[in-house]
């Protein structure tokens, strides 16, 4: 994409997943309803506080076996929308195979900068390392996330509690979004664009699977391919997973479902 010659409207459209997927409101509503049902069915370890701010809480869904692997899922919404509560059913695929699941909340922009949001996820993982066993979560952690959560997965892969990662439909180079409406709330600084773009940072040599839908917007597809190539050049492990026909909202069904492609990939990484 020739970013320099594009209008502001074209730049905004390049990242506007909601506009690009006509039935996104229906898909979002269905996911929220399924997540409410999942939380209601597993109410024992919800809204556990890890930090001082309103959204600094965990939802934990321990497995029958405390040392089972745990998928930690970071919600998306361009760092400024959604919550863990409306994404809970996205750990249902691994959970059906005897895994634990966990979702951290985090403060949204503009109430937090992207630096602060990244720090909150690391603080949440610190809390899980210390307190997870009290709630039946003591096994290896697979860090995952979708959209903004895919970015945060790549940023926090180096946390000592994390064994491997699955980044779904993430943004890994922040420079272009400074020139879009996404930055109205993010207010990225030049320093943040460098420090928080995984494509500009040293490679973390833990397994990282990188997934995108083949019906997604071009920048999300290219960022995923670019990050995989960047890591592969440094011999860092982890597959690139193009999910055929999936758009930005349907790709997560592959983690929600027990027989989903991303559920299978998560189990392979473990």
pLDDT digits (tens, 9 = 90+) for 71-105: 999 999 999 999 999 999 999 999 999 999 999 99
Q: Which residue has the higher pLDDT, 168 or 14?
A: 168
Q: Mean pLDDT throughout 259-266?
A: 98
Residue 174: give its domain's CATH number.
3.40.50.1820
Q: Mean pLDDT throughout 216-245?
A: 97
Report d(CA 145, CA 237) in Å as an integer. Answer: 18
Query: Domain span at residue 242?
Result: 3-269
Please give the tally of structural domains in the chain. Answer: 1
Buried b (16+ CB within 10 A) or exposed e, 204-220: bebbbbbbbbebbbebb
Q: Are strands 57-61 and 100-104 parallel, antiparallel or unpaired?
A: antiparallel
């Amino acid at each position: 994409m020739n970013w320099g010659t594009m209008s502001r409207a074209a730049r905004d459209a390049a990242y506007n997943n909601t506009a690009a997927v006509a039935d996104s409101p229906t898909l979002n509503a269905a996911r929220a309803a399924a997540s409410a049902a999942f939380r209601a069915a597993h109410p024992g370890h919800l809204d556990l506080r890890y930090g001082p701010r309103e959204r600094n809480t965990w939802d934990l869904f321990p497995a029958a076996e405390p040392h089972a692997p745990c998928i930690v899922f970071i919600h998306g919404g361009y760092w400024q929308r959604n919550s863990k509560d409306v994404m809970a059913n996205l750990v249902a695929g691994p959970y059906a195979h005897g895994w634990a699941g966990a979702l951290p909340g985090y403060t949204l922009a503009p109430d937090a900068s992207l630096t602060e949001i990244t720090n909150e996820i690391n603080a949440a993982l610190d809390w899980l390392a210390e307190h997870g066993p009290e709630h039946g979560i003591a096994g290896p952690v697979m860090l995952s996330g979708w959209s903004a959560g895919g970015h945060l997965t790549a940023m926090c892969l180096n946390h000592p509690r994390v064994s491997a990662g699955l980044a779904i439909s993430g943004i890994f180079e922040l420079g272009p979004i400074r020139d879009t409406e996404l930055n109205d709330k993010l207010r990225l600084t030049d320093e943040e664009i460098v420090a928080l773009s995984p494509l500009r940072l040293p490679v973390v040599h833990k397994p990282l699977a990188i997934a995108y839908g083949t019906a997604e917007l071009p920048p999300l597809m290219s960022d995923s391919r670019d990050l995989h190539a960047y890591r592969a050049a440094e011999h860092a492990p982890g597959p690139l997973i193009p999910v055929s026909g999936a758009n930005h909202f349907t790709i997560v069904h592959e983690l929600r479902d027990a027989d989903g492609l991303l559920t299978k990939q998560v189990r392979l990484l473990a």
